[in-house]
Structure 1
Amino acid sequence: MKNNCILVVNPISGGIDKTELINTITAFAEKENFNIHIFKTSGISDSDRLNEFYKTYKTERVIVAGGDGTIKMVAEALEDEDIIIGILPAGSANGLAVDLNLPTTIEENLPIAFYNHYMEMDMISINGKKSIHLSDLGLNAEMIKNYENSSIRGKLGYALQTVNTLIDLDDPFTATITGDFPTVECEARMIVIANSQKYGTGISINPNGIMDDGKFELVILKNMDLVVLGKIITGNMPLDNNDVEIISTAKAVIATNVPVSFQIDGEYCGAETKLNIEILPKQMKVAIPVV
């Protein structure tokens, strides 16, 4: 008797045609005696459509071929179902896959996605929206806004918009951060709300991140000159000076003096002046490599 499995594919993630990828996944599933049911995202009512699709097949495991945004959509659409999510990184940004130490090739990831054991990941609620990975206010969110408005995709697109964003950099914003810790008032270029350690580019922004510890980190970047930026890009996070402050907590409120660009898991969400943030423990089962 064959096992049933749902494959969720984002056909346009990463700007790459997914026909060959789907054929590879389908061939593996057939060899391993799986009936695979394919759901393609369209950007229109994906969450509702996937929920209805799932009711037809009721599989224990859902394989996601896409980036962080697609994974988050699946987790939210099926949050009331007891499923394990297997990840096949195929997006412009694959930050969660990087943090889970998934291999770089689809062939290596297939047995992990279909068979391996899982961890129960936390998620973060930010103004009622869920984050699985890294969200932020300020410089990076502004870069993502510019990236979404550009025609060049992939790592080259991110690199170009990073340069453009730095050239047009606004003044720092003032933030007041409250929670179960001494209130922080500071000027900042960027505040990261982190459930993990690395962006999809591999840049480590939160060395303290653990995805199932019941806490998140606020990484406050008070200065983002070229020296600090260079240290971050090269993996030398400047934790020993006043440019960076990290707060580990389960709940916080960030208020800013002006509207500041904000993004969740690589998706630009507009400008905000207040964020209410809290941890949502053990919200998502995700397949991981055997250590």
Structure 2
Amino acid sequence: MTHIHFIVNPIAGTGNHGFSETFLQDYFDKDQYNLTVKCSSYKGHAIHLTKESINQQAHIIVACGGDGTINEVASTLVNSNIPLGIIPVGSGNGLASNLKISQNVKKAIAVIKNNQQTKIDVGCVNEHYFFSNTGFGFSASVIKNYEALQKRTLFCYMQASLKSLKEFHKKEGISIEINELEILVNPFLIFISNSNEMGYNLSLTPKASLQDGLLDVIIVPKLNKLKMLLFGVSLLLKKPEFLKEVKCFQTKALKLSSKNTDFFESQMDGEMLKIHDTSVSISLKEKSLLVIF
């Protein structure tokens, strides 16, 4: 008997996905599977529910939601032998897309039943894990404004992006240590990715891989309006290196330091995170999460 626990965000995406044991039982033979469904009700709740499922000796734990829910469940499963299943019903669904997991619920369930497993790399910012990407500067501002809109749609994401462009103030005195180089920048954007998609089929790191043991890093300085427009076009074309001002790196680790503030605002897998420290260490844990794909 295979015990599968589903951690569900009931308001992810449209909020109309209707996950329940009754719904899922139509897809899983009662003689082969024992199903448990748990619904999260606040930010961070999925972490508690996943820990509970680990203690209850679940064989598979499935995150049903968007990138935020997936991050909470996956973070709890790092370095464990319990595989992560994903039913993507959020807005961006960057990690699921990278793993070629369909947003069609029936097809995603079929992937879980097939139970093909692999191990992927995991990014780490101080003590916080990320699986798709993390970002500072403009990237963090967009997510901050996106969350304030309370709706997760591509249109709202574009609204948040435009608002962030209007509000943007460059950060002075940010030092980046990467590949034995120290770079002092006033960044528009620092973007670190473990996967080749951000969600909505957009990518700043099209060559990134979940299994290459490297993080892909994009550093963008403050640009004039014309070059900002060109940068937007390069994002749509998935060619971030189009502008010479944009610096691209691959690395196993990097460090950000600030002389002027005692905190960093970041986004991590599409969720806002404020880090109360004058420096941030970003590293990679190779093949430390077991996933079903």
Q: Residue type matched to 2:38 in 1?
A: F
TM-score by length of 2: 0.88
Corresponding position of 1:249? 251
Corresponding position of 1:52? 52
2:61–2:85 CA contact under 8 A, matched in 1: yes
- Do structure 1's residue 262 and structure 2's residue 266 form an aligned pair? yes
% of aligned pairs identical?
23
Q: 1:133 to 1:151 in 2, by over 3 A?
A: closer
Q: Residue type matched to 2:47 in 1?
A: S
Corresponding position of 2:209? 210
2:136–2:189 CA contact under 8 A, matched in 1: yes
TM-score by length of 1: 0.88
Q: 1:173 to 1:94 in 2, by over 3 A?
A: farther
CA offset digits 1:52-86 (Å, max 9, x no partner): 23322x12211221112212211222335311111
Corresponding position of 1:226? 229
Question: Which of structure 1's runs of 4+ aligned residues deviate more than 4 A?
Answer: 20-24, 257-260
CA offset digits 1:97-120 (Å, max 9, x no partner): 111122231122211123231221
Corresponding position of 1:74? 73
2:133–2:198 CA contact under 8 A, matched in 1: yes
- CA distance in 2 between counterparts of 1:61 and 1:142 reads 35
Q: Which runs of 5+ in 1 are unaligned?
A: none
- CA distance in 2 between counterparts of 1:146 and 1:129 reads 22
1:144–1:263 CA contact under 8 A, matched in 2: yes
2:79–2:289 CA contact under 8 A, matched in 1: no
Q: Which runs of 5+ in 2 are unaligned?
A: none
CA offset digits 1:192-216 (Å, max 9, x no partner): 1111111111111112211112221
- CA distance in 1 between counterparts of 2:20 and 2:38 reads 14
2:202–2:238 CA contact under 8 A, matched in 1: no
Deviates more, 1:63-72 or 1:190-199: 63-72
Q: 1:207 to 1:223 in 2, by over 3 A?
A: farther
- Do structure 1's residue 197 and structure 2's residue 196 form an aligned pair? yes
TM-fit CA distance, 1:135: 0.5
Q: 1:161 to 1:5 in 2, by over 3 A?
A: same
Corresponding position of 1:143? 142
3-state SS in 2 of match to 1:189: strand
- CA distance in 2 between counterparts of 1:77 and 1:50 reads 7
1:5–1:34 CA contact under 8 A, matched in 2: yes
2:88–2:102 CA contact under 8 A, matched in 1: no
TM-fit CA distance, 1:32: 8.2
